[in-house]
A = this chain, B = another copy of it.
Amino acid sequence: MSGNRSGVLELAVLGLLHETPLHGYELRKRLNGLLGAFRAFGYGSLYPCLKELLAQGLIAEDTPADTGQAGPARHTGLAGQSRYSGLSGQARPRSGRRSKIVYRLTADGKERLQDLLAEAGPAAWEDDGFGVHFAFFGQTRADIRLRILEGRRTRLEERLDGVRAVMSRTRERLDSYTLELHRHGLESVEREVRWLNELIASERESGAASPPPSARNADNDTSAGQDPS
């Protein structure tokens, strides 16, 4: 089966494109802005990902005619119908010549994004996955947010237990550097647990009125509408 891209990148790309259509280069900058401290992607990761999302029909190339502006989508160029098919023979048979390729979410892509955002399992608790999911909490249902935060906390607490067990079991064998590493690691994890506790508390507080379990699901306009402001 072809690469079932289910990693961090897919969610990040779909999430960003849900906000506004973008071309690859700009997308990468926003990506690294969004993920900031904890993850960075290069073009060598991004473009193959876009290629495959395109192949799966989750995103589409935006033809110059239909997006008026959408931020940096200025294809002022139109520049000389130069050679677009150099070495690899495959000419890009799209209509207007443009130097940028602007991608937008398709209806399928929006659906897929919703699925990913509704995912509250392991993929959303692990280090990387959690970061991206958290970054898109603004688009995530309140009950899912809570489940993810709690799942993450549980995950970290298991990790704490494991480390503490090791530390007491093998106390005398560890040299001082290893010990210091564990001490610091433990402290970091404990700190993140406290952070999660605060977030959970504030989620519970602000979401006290909203019903968690109801099958609320109301956003899929299949129509193209990338609203042109």
Contacts and interface: CB of A to CB of B under 8 A. Distances in A.
A85 to B, nearest CB: 13
Contact of A185 (B37, B88, B159, B178): B37
A62 to B, nearest CB: 21
A181 B135 contact: yes
Contact of A182 (B36, B163, B191): B36
Nearest to A196: B184
A184 B195 contact: yes
Interface in A180-206: 180-182, 184-186, 188-189, 191-192, 195, 199
B137 A169 contact: no
Given A181-B131, A181-B135, A184-B195, A33 B170 contact: yes
A175 B37 contact: no
Given A87-B169, A88-B169, A169-B88, A36 B185 contact: yes
A99 to B, nearest CB: 24
A161 B180 CA distance: 27
Interface in A5-42: 32-34, 36-38
A137 B178 CA distance: 8
B163 A37 contact: yes
A176 interface: yes
Contacts of A170: 33, 88
A177 B195 CA distance: 13
- Most B-side CB within 10 Å, residue of A162, A163, A178, A192: A178
Given A88-B169, A163-B36, A163-B37, A135 B178 contact: yes
Nearest to A184: B195
B36 A177 contact: no
Given A36-B163, A37-B159, A185-B36, A135 B87 contact: no
Interface of A: 32-34, 36-38, 87-88, 131, 134-138, 159-160, 162-163, 166-167, 169-170, 175-178, 180-182, 184-186, 188-189, 191-192, 195, 199
